[in-house]
Amino acid sequence: MRRLALLLALAFAAPAAAQTEVDLELVLLADSSGSIGNDEILFQRQGYATALTDPAVVAAIAGTAYGSIALTYVEWGQFDSQDVVVPWRVIDGPEAAAEFAAELLVPPRRAGGRNAIGAALLFGLDLIESNDIVGWRRIIDISADSTGNFNGPSIAEAREFVVSAGTTINGLAVLCRDCASGWSGGGDLEAEFRQRIIGGPGAFVIAAEDRAGFAEAVKRKLILEISGRAGGPEFAGLSGEDD
């Protein structure tokens, strides 16, 4: 009797929610901290929109195992300031890429405050863990004009947690020295990204050295991430201290 009841319960149970399968789940974490002016916010969004709709990026998506990736764009500032500008979208061709790009340019800026990179990384991981998408690969891509972490969880703790969850962290080091709001150019920011932020299999950092090269740097980064051609495993050290 118990066995019959169990079989009936299983037969009439609600089916599990279907999950979308893609080659890659990619979180784009764009710097929206206090050092980034409103004009740079729009400039960054336009750079990502231009890169995402580039035929080479669309071709890279088509060349993946599933022919699709899942993408979301987030702007981050202080520990309690992260804004999902465009929620998860499956990009499977030029039309979907164009729709994402167009949506990216619409919302106003909502994130700000002093750098909280650790909190941003954990926010990105939560977006991956809580969606209804399954990707072969999972990447959080963070852009920043410094590696300062002035509030919230430490970068080292957040990075270790993200990497241990099977997610790679890549970086875009913004070196723009001639931008109106003074994006930083002091020190070797690319090296700091390698030491303090990136981590996981195939992790890498690309530098955007000026305004003219920003969209091209984003394009190159997206192609490497989507195609999985970033090279061999590279792990950032997990013992660095935050500022």
Question: In the chain, what are the domains?
Answer: 22-227 (3.40.50.410)
Q: What's the pLDDT at 8?
A: 41
Q: What's the pLDDT at 210?
A: 80
Distance, in Å, from the CA atom of 243 to the CA atom of 39, rounded to the nearest integer, reads: 27
Q: E strands of the chain, at which residues? A: 20-31, 69-76, 82-91, 133-144, 168-174, 205-208
Q: Structure tokens of 143?
A: 């852009």
Distance, in Å, from the CA atom of 135 to the CA atom of 114, rounded to the nearest integer, reads: 32
Distance, in Å, from the CA atom of 192 to the CA atom of 173, rounded to the nearest integer, reads: 9
Distance, in Å, from the CA atom of 183 to the CA atom of 186, rounded to the nearest integer, reads: 10
| Span 159-217, pLDDT tens digits | 999 999 999 999 999 986 455 444 444 569 999 999 999 999 999 999 998 888 899 99
What pTM was computed for the model? Answer: 0.86
Low-confidence ranges of the chain (pLDDT < 70): 1-18, 176-187, 230-243
Residues linked to residue 183 through DSSP beta bridges, in sequence order: none
Q: What's the pLDDT at 211?
A: 81
Please state whether 166 falls in left (phi above 0), alpha (psi between -120 and 50) or beta: left
Q: What is the mean pLDDT of the chain?
A: 87
With pLDDT > 90 as the criterion, what percentage of the chain qualifies?
77
